[in-house]
Amino acid sequence: AQSVSQHNHHVILSEAASLELGCNYSYGGTVNLFWYVQYPGQHLQLLLKYFSGDPLVKGIKGFEAEFIKSKFSFNLRKPSVQWSDTAEYFCAVINTGRRALTFGSGTRLQVQP
């Protein structure tokens, strides 16, 4: 069975600091990878996704992620966070044979002004 691990459960940063959130998945086949963000009281929104091609993926709001197949990783990065980035971030994977997203347990990001 596939699984997703997010190593950081709660991250606190000051504005303008750089962000990197770790995500590792366990599945040996072809996967599609996602990062979702959940702002307080709002629905899950897609930040970015990787299906194939360039392993460095750029998403909305200045976020990017790098797929490293040999490490089964898909880490999320942002060079300079803003207070408005305070939210919960979820990494998710779907393999091409299944119909369901498998989510990590999430990382709560708190950005202090």
Partner 1 sequence: ETGVTQSPTHLIKTRGQQVTLRCSSQSGHNTVSWYQQALGQGPQFIFQYYREEENGRGNFPPRFSGLQFPNYSSELNVNALELDDSALYLCASSLAGSSGYTFGSGTRLTVV
Cβ-in-10-Å burial (0-12, 13-18, 19+) of 17 comes to middle
> Nearer to partner 1 by C-beta: 97 or 113?
97
In the three-class reduction of DSSP (H, G, I as helix; E, B as strand; rest coil), residue 66 is classed as strand
Query: What DSSP state is assigned to residue 62?
Result: G
User: Any contact of residue 102 with partner 1 (CB under 8 A)?
Assistant: yes
Binding residue for partner 1, selected from 57, 65, 106, 109, defined by CB under 8 A: 106
For the CA atoms of the chain, what is the radius of gyration? Answer: 13
Binding residue for partner 1, selected from 20, 26, 51, 58, defined by CB under 8 A: 51
User: Any contact of residue 30 with partner 1 (CB under 8 A)?
Assistant: no
User: Any contact of residue 86 with partner 1 (CB under 8 A)?
Assistant: no
